Amino acid sequence: MDAGDDALTLGAALWSIAVGIELTIRITMVGIVPGNRRPTTAMAWLLAIFFLPVAGLLLYLLFANTKLSRRRIERQRNVNESILEATQHLSGGTWAPDAPDWVLSAVELNRRLGALPLQGGNAVEFITGYKESLDEMRLEIDRARRYIHVQFYIIGDDDEYVAPILEALERAVARGVKVRVLFDHLGSLRVKGYFALVRRMSAAGINWRRMLPLAPFQRRWRRPDLRNHRKIVVVDGQVAFTGSQNLIEPGYKRSSAHKVGREWVELMVKVHGPLVTSLDVVFATDWSQESDEDLLQDLAAVEDAIREAPDAGEDLGQVVPSGPGFETENNLRLFNTLIYSATERLSITSPYFVPDDSLLYAITTAAQRGVEVELFVCEKGDQALVQHAQQSYYEALLRAGVRIYLYKAPAVLHSKCMAVDDDVVVMGSSNMDMRSFSLNLEITLMLLGSDLVDELMKVQDSYRANSTELTLEQWNERPMLSRWIDNVARLSATLQ
């Protein structure tokens, strides 16, 4: 046998080994991938593994685990149990005895999943102006006497929007106020000026931590796209802010956005009253995950704060934390519960609308049983793949009777909110997409009462005035290539 025959024999052997490995991967993963995973997600992963076995397996090992570390999950569970015990005397009926049964059912669901109770005696103010909300935060920071808690997915560096906040935090430290700042590691790392920002905070004496840091040499590693997406500011336990806005200028420091004049449209709330304590509990929980300082050591103080916080108004609300630190998808379960309970109207705003099957069925079923359903989305989003995935759902929604309003480009409608009949408002950081349900730590605020619904509907009316309605006839005229791209993007969106 000559050298050529030897090479052919070796090549055939290597080919057989490669085929055997690929076949083994395919067969093995068929019995592994579907476990505790949505069927659509499992199918997307299996398709990736069947077409590219080795590469698909590596991607699966890197990205398929949606859970946080055992330590983080256990700590969250302990916090939930302690809060439930400390506030067991509080129930939905305590504050809303006349609320419809379906509202009290949603309150109980939130209580069991997220631990925090419904609370009355609040004053809630919606803030739609980008600069206005930052100015309100700065004013409250300058009034601080004891502590300031700041938490954002993205924090930008010094500019006309962020500089006043940073300067106010520096003044607070100088007068002896404890300032704690949390920001998502990857969310902020990619923003130009990140290293200058952290140097400035350190020099000022601001105590800051990265949320969900990727630090493999410190044995802090997880699926890299698990992110903390919450936005919370609490001052002295007396006033808080939450919503969709990040601490960055409205073009998100993106040259592509500035080039076309793209700015983000946000919705925040300013809260006085007992709900401030619930938001502070969420911050404290996240802080304890990233530092050795336990801000929830004295749970009796938490109980007293929730029970004895002075009434600031008549608004009712409940804070709903969610994310991979919980064993259930708290935000998705709440959304589905409320949508199935609606009898008259649903008004939904979501910048990234990529629902799972359960949410898609809930919304289309609501429209089909006569509920007036409207959905506000971006005409052109800032993330092309997500935009195409979102568009793949438009036909099913339109055929069911959902009215879709496209917020005019180049603006990015980044608000996340929903009004249900005349009874419930939901708003916060959570999108209606599978990333927010499974991968992101989110914060949602459920508010009760027709007055707050009316206030949110005024906001939605302003969105409608700057939108064009999409019709089924218009949508069916789009090119076949666009349909193909939308459907491919939809498949990739399920790789959670």
d(CA 419, CA 122): 19
Highest mean pLDDT among 96-105, 112-121, 145-154: 145-154
CB 398 within 8 A of CB 404: yes
CA dist 138 and 165 (Å) reads 5
pLDDT in tens, 364-395: 999 999 999 999 999 999 999 999 999 999 99
Please give the pLDDT value at position 299: 45
Mean pLDDT value of segment 2-13:
65
Q: Compute CA distances 350 → 58, 354, 417, whole Å.
A: 32, 9, 7
The catalytically annotated residue of 229, 270, 272, 388 is 229
For 1-10, 190-199, 325-334, which range has the lowest pLDDT when averaged over its residues? 1-10
Told to judge if 131 belongs to the known catalytic residues of this protein, a careful annotator would answer: no
- The predicted pLDDT at position 338 comes to 98
What mean pLDDT is predicted for residues 65-85?
68
> Locate tokens 């802090």: which residue?
220
> Which residues, other chains included, contact 270 with Cβ-Cβ below 8 Å and sequence gap of 6+?
124, 125, 127, 133, 136, 239, 240, 241
More confident residue, 37 or 267: 267
DSSP per-residue string spanning 236-305: TTTEEEEES--BS-TTTT-HHHHHHT--EE--EEEEESTHHHHHHHHHHHHHHHHSS--TTS-HHHHHHH
pTM: 0.88
CA distance 188 to 179: 19
pLDDT exceeds 60 at position 302: no
Distances (CA, A) of 101 to 93, 120, 397, 405, 437: 10, 18, 28, 31, 26
272 included as an active-site residue? no
Instruction: List 378's β-bridge partners, or say none.
Output: 407
Q: What is the mean pLDDT of residues 472-479?
A: 94
Q: Supply the pLDDT for residue 320.
A: 96
pLDDT at site 6: 62
Q: For this structure, is 236 an active site residue? A: yes
pLDDT of residue 137: 98
pLDDT tier at 146 (50, 70, 90 boundaries)? very high
Active site residue 414: yes
Residue 34 contacts residue 42 (beta carbons within 8 Å): yes
Q: Which pLDDT tens digit goes with each residue over 432-470? A: 998 899 889 999 999 999 999 999 999 999 999 999 999
Burial level of 380, CB count in 10 A (0-12/13-18/19+)? Answer: middle
SS3 342: coil
Of 253, 414, 433, 486, catalytic = 414
Band (pLDDT 50/70/90 cuts) for residue 81 is low
Return the axis-axis angle of helices 330-341 and 357-368, rounded to nearest 10°.
10
Catalytic residue among 416, 423, 433, 486: 416
**Does residue 461 carry a catalytic annotation?**
no
- pLDDT above 90 coverage of the chain, percent: 65
Reported as a single tens digit per residue, the pLDDT across 218-275 is 666 667 778 999 999 999 999 999 999 999 999 999 999 999 999 999 999 999 999 9
Cβ neighbours of 120 (radius 10 Å): 18
- Residue 100: other Cβ atoms inside 10 A: 15
Q: For residue 53, what pLDDT is reported?
A: 79
Coil/strand/helix, residue 195: helix
pLDDT confidence of residue 460: 97
Residue 211's SS3 state is strand
- Non-local (6+) Cβ contacts of 308 within 8 A are none
Quick check: 419 and 345 in contact, CB under 8 A? yes
Tens digits of residue pLDDT in 321-365: 998 888 789 999 999 999 999 999 999 999 999 999 999 999 999
pLDDT for the residue numbered 409: 96
Identified catalytic residue from 149, 185, 231, 270: 231
| Stretch 96-114: mean pLDDT | 90
Q: Which of 352, 368, 338, 351 is nearest to 453 (CA)?
A: 338
**Rounded CA gap, 435 and 205, in Å?**
35
Active site residue 185: no
Residue 300 confidence class, pLDDT cut points 50, 70, 90: very low
Catalytic residue among 158, 236, 422, 451: 236
